[in-house]
Amino acid sequence: MSDVIDNKADHRFELEAEGHLATEHYKLDGNVITFEHTDVPKELGGKGVGSKLVQGALDQVRAAGLKLIPQCPFVKAWIEKHPEYADLVKS
């Protein structure tokens, strides 16, 4: 698996794995980023690709000093399992 890339032109974080592309689609409004939808190809299911994608994206959100709205249920559940990222969620 490669590193998570922020494809700003397409408003999505990307992670390539095994010849497939997993994506985290977002909307940016000022210093608030809304994660709208996570897409992991079925060929990558159960391999931790979605988790690596979300963690890499959240690390970049933290580094950029942004706040997060986890509209995507996968991201919301991931943050609940990893409370060290809860401080990123916009209150």
- How does pLDDT run across 22-68, given as a tens digit for each residue? 999 999 999 999 999 999 999 999 999 999 999 999 999 999 999 99
- Which residues is 39 bridged to in the sheet? 23
Q: Containing domain of residue 31, as a range?
A: 5-88
Indicate if the pLDDT at residue 82 is higher than 60: yes
* pTM, two decimal places: 0.94
Number of domains, the chain: 1
CA dihedral 62, 70, 56, 85 (to 10 degrees): 50
Indicate if the pLDDT at residue 1 is higher than 90: no
Radius of gyration (C-alpha) of the chain in whole angstroms: 12
User: What HEC string does 33-65 produce?
Assistant: EEEEEEECCHHHCCCCHHHHHHHHHHHHHHHHC
Q: How many residues does the chain have?
A: 91
Q: Which pLDDT value is given to residue 91?
A: 86
Q: What CATH number corresponds to the domain at position 46?
A: 3.40.630.30
